[in-house]
Amino acid sequence: MVMELGVPPLPTNRTTMDVEALRRYVRSLRRRASRAVEPAGAERPAIAAEAALRYRASATHLDRRLARSRAPLAAWGGLQDSAPRAALLSMHARVDALTSDAWEDPALAQIWFRGADYLIPRDDIPIFTLGCLPRDPTVVAALEQAADALLRSRAGQQDLLRVQGFSYRLSQVTGRFLIRWDASRTTVIPNHPPDMDSDARRELARRFLHWYAPAATVQFAKWSGTSLEDARETWSEMKDETFEVDFGGERRFVLAADMPALTDAEPVHGVRFLPPSDPYLYLDSRLIPGMDAVEDCVEALRGRHASRLLNSLSGRVTMAGNIVGAWGRVSNRLSIATLPGVTRPVLDEIEAEGQQMRGPIGRAMKLVWL
């Protein structure tokens, strides 16, 4: 679950924290939510929803599974891990022969990204931290102070700090610590401060656009946890790399290098079980065929199954990129509800894919059809 933005709890010595700078920072993040997406300009190339969805599935590696040795590539744009092992299951949808300990691959790292637990490539820590660093030097100083207070409060431990709640998540953008979340507790791990790369902000925007194009500035601001003003400045710095398009009447952008792939993306194949935070479901999810229908399908089951069970069906089953069902998991018990009319061959593929969760879950799966 993404935290509700707020000023972190103050350290014992209140004079070391510029509270007003942090409050100003939080207010700047909140303002982005009220900004509407801009209408498309005249005579811009139109991108159809079907083409965008095919492109996103391919760009995020849902079109074919990667070899296990290339697992970090599945996290190239970041995988949210707020729900227990959600990032692992997003990786499983993209990587062959995944095991339950794959999230601890030394080539991967966990951080708080826009306040949520995320799994990213370890080599890209500067991109996902300093890439979100605000440009206001007084705010940066306040965030550094918050990181100082967090790292000083290790209570005598040499390397690790167990953290309760959402304290100090905003200071993750300093890059001075990592986290380890084992689905029950979060540990903060001091990290050598990365060097500020002047391209970190632009590289973060490139990753967002490569995975989510066509997309708008305000959507990048929300995804990255930056202010709209900062996002616009980054966008401006990248004007020679981006191409403006019309997406359903909205003004959106694509990396110029990705335009051929966006317009020529091939349909994807196969069944995938995607957690609700999966990149494929992040942007414009209502455009995915079957999304509204599967919600109606789950609602129609009320009265026949417990509300708690139905509320757990937050994952989505896709077939060739379309939504064909919903799923939820408790331990190794996998509950599945499919749309009416799903054919027997597709049901067989869904069952086979569900059983493949044995790899990341570490136990044989018990499938329950609703």
300 and 179 in a single domain? The answer is: no
Residue 303: pLDDT band with limits 50, 70, 90: confident
186 and 292 in a single domain? The answer is: no
Among candidate residues 190, 222, 248, the one where a domain is terminated: 190
Instruction: Give me the pLDDT at residue 169, please.
Output: 84
How many other C-beta atoms are found inside a 10 Å radius of the C-beta of residue 153?
Answer: 15
Structurally, how many domains does the chain consist of? Answer: 2
Q: Report yes or no on 96 lying in a domain.
A: yes
Among candidate residues 160, 190, 220, the one where a domain is terminated: 190
What pTM was computed for the model? 0.89
Q: Report yes or no on 305 lying in a domain.
A: yes
Q: Report yes or no on 28 lying in a domain.
A: yes
Q: Are 77 and 210 in contact (CB under 8 A)?
A: yes
For residues 40, 45, 50, 54, the Cα torsion angle rounded to the nearest 10 degrees is -110
155 and 294 in a single domain? The answer is: no
As a whole number of angstroms, the distance between CA 90 and CA 60 comes to 10
184 and 299 in a single domain? The answer is: no
34 and 182 in a single domain? The answer is: yes
More confident residue, 12 or 1: 12
As a whole number of angstroms, the distance between CA 214 and CA 67 comes to 28
Q: Report yes or no on 322 lying in a domain.
A: yes
Q: Report yes or no on 220 lying in a domain.
A: no
172 and 27 in a single domain? The answer is: yes
Among candidate residues 137, 161, 190, the one where a domain is terminated: 190
Instruction: Give me the pLDDT at residue 272, please.
Output: 97
For 15-39, write each residue's pLDDT tens digit: 456 778 878 877 777 766 555 667 7
State the average pLDDT over residues 229-251: 94
DSSP letter assigned to residue 327: E
185 and 304 in a single domain? The answer is: no
Question: What are residue 66's phi and psi, to 5 degrees?
Answer: -80, 155
Averaged pLDDT score across all residues of the chain: 87
Instruction: Give me the pLDDT at residue 205, please.
Output: 97
25 and 137 in a single domain? The answer is: yes
176 and 320 in a single domain? The answer is: no
As a whole number of angstroms, the distance between CA 174 and CA 146 comes to 10
Strands 161-163 and 322-330: unpaired
31 and 137 in a single domain? The answer is: yes
State the average pLDDT over residues 349-367: 95
Q: Report yes or no on 226 lying in a domain.
A: no
Q: At what angle do helices 19-31 and 137-152 cross, to 10 degrees?
A: 120
Q: Report yes or no on 316 lying in a domain.
A: yes
Q: How many CA atoms lie within 13 A of 138 on its CB side?
A: 8
DSSP letter assigned to residue 111: E
Give residue 355's domain range.
288-369
29 and 146 in a single domain? The answer is: yes
For 54-68, write each residue's pLDDT tens digit: 999 999 999 999 999
Instruction: Give me the pLDDT at residue 15, please.
Output: 45
For 146-199, write each residue's pLDDT tens digit: 888 888 765 434 344 444 434 478 889 999 999 998 888 888 889 988 876 679
Instruction: Give me the pLDDT at residue 4, please.
Output: 37
Q: Report yes or no on 183 lying in a domain.
A: yes
